[in-house]
Structure 1
Amino acid sequence: MISPFNLHHQNNEIDSKIVVALERLSEAFRVLLWNESKLTSLSPIQIQILIFLLFQPVEKCRVSYLAKEFNMSKPTISDSVKSLLAKGLIQRNDDALDSRSFTVSLTETGKLTAIQSADFTRSIENPVSLLAPQQKEIMLDGLLKIIQELNKAEIITVQRMCFTCTHYRVHDSGHYCKLLQMQLAYKEIRTDCPEHEAISL
């Protein structure tokens, strides 16, 4: 059977080795997130929501956007939001123009929890920091291209990186942002940009 997990196939195909390596990394993220959830007595998705609210602009802090961001149903996200409200970690902000619409934001307690939890990836950041600059650029380039293709296939539904933005251009001289009106070094390519405007598919 042809599968990345078939060892005979895997050992002879670099594509399969990369896929399995990415799967191992995803497992590391899951373990770290579960460990953090034990410390905070929150579910992994509740931790992810708190971290999202800590760093993202208020217009994105709605149940509908959170559902798209985390590829989950609105009822599932709503349950997590209700739990966080009950625990006093977030607060509801009603829309003055639409009584059915609201955003959520962190309380002071929620902010402290989010700041502490946002560091859960440190164990992965440390080995990344040991890579040579050129290795980092090659790795980033490959990962962004994989993410871009997964976004096109609608497997990753929300994406805010340069490659999927209407402002991004490639010139002979390299990467360019029309919004910032400047050339971008590869290390300046963003994986999560607040000014991102998605390309219409």
Structure 2
Amino acid sequence: MKTESRSRVRAVLDRLQRLNASEDWADDLNPAQRSALGYLVRANRFSRSPSQVADYLCTTRGTASQTLKALEKKGLIERSASDDDKRTISYDVTQAGFDAADRVDSLDEALERLDTESGVRLEETLSELIRNQLAARGFRSFGLCKTCKYHRPDKSGLYCTLLQVDLSPEQAGQLCHEHSAA
């Protein structure tokens, strides 16, 4: 991409991010809390630890922990310890958290006005941009379970060959920290 074009695209993305962030202060949440809550809503049950939230948000473990504590204090998520290892922490979204994450803002409304073909192209282009930037920085990609090389449909349903667990159709559409491109 030529420098002039790259500069214009970068300016458009910056403007879009600023417009979106200005609305992310609604409902007593700051943008970091809204991002973490949005991630937890979309993440599968194996991808909800503080370190995985930090990886997804590209932030420190300490910042992610403080963000999660604030969400828990607001009653939007609940903390649970693993039955196998009490040191292993995971978070589940409460109904209040789902309600807060369901908020429709002006970006949602603008996306609704796009025709289907434009929406698909935009998603593909932005996803490629994110993958390239994550790869350049050495970060995990995260991805939908159903697009992972370990995801297998079999006679009894869906299965993750990496974690060796059965999956529901709902889980196949959730984000996973173990995702590996097929």
Q: State the Cα distance separating 1:65 from its structure 2 match.
A: 0.6
Number of aligned residue pairs: give it.
Answer: 161
DSSP-derived class of the 1:93 partner: strand
Unaligned runs of 5+ in 1: 1-8, 168-177, 182-191
Q: Amino acid of the residue matched to residue 198 of structure 1?
A: S
2:94 corresponds to 1:123: no
Identity %: 20
Q: Amino acid of the residue matched to residue 44 of structure 2?
A: P
Partner residue, 1:32: 23
Q: State the Cα distance separating 1:154 from its structure 2 match.
A: 2.5
Q: Any runs of at least 4 consecutive aligned residues in structure 1 with deviations exceeding 6 A, and if so which?
A: none
DSSP-derived class of the 2:137 partner: coil
Which structure has more relative contact order (CA 8 Å, sep 6+)? It is 2
Q: State the Cα distance separating 1:77 from its structure 2 match.
A: 1.3
Please tell me whether Structure 1 or Structure 2 has the larger radius of gyration of its CA atoms.
1
CA RMSD of aligned residues (A): 3.2
Partner residue, 1:138: 121
Relative to the length of structure 2, the TM-score reads 0.70
Partner residue, 1:172: none
- The Cα offsets for residues 79-103 of structure 1, whole Å up to 9 and x where unpaired, read as 2222333343332211121121121
- Change in 2 beyond 3 A, CA 1:49/1:147: closer
Q: State the Cα distance separating 1:72 from its structure 2 match.
A: 1.1
Partner residue, 2:11: 20
Relative to the length of structure 1, the TM-score reads 0.65
Partner residue, 2:180: 198
2:141 corresponds to 1:150: no
In 1: Cα distance, 2:111 partner to 2:32 partner: 25
User: Which residues in structure 2 correspond to 1:74-153 (within 5 Å)?
Assistant: 74-107=61-94, 111-120=95-104, 122-153=105-136
DSSP-derived class of the 2:180 partner: coil
- The Cα offsets for residues 105-157 of structure 1, whole Å up to 9 and x where unpaired, read as 234xxx2243234324x311322333333333333332222122112212764
In 2: Cα distance, 1:47 partner to 1:137 partner: 24
Unaligned runs of 5+ in 2: 155-171
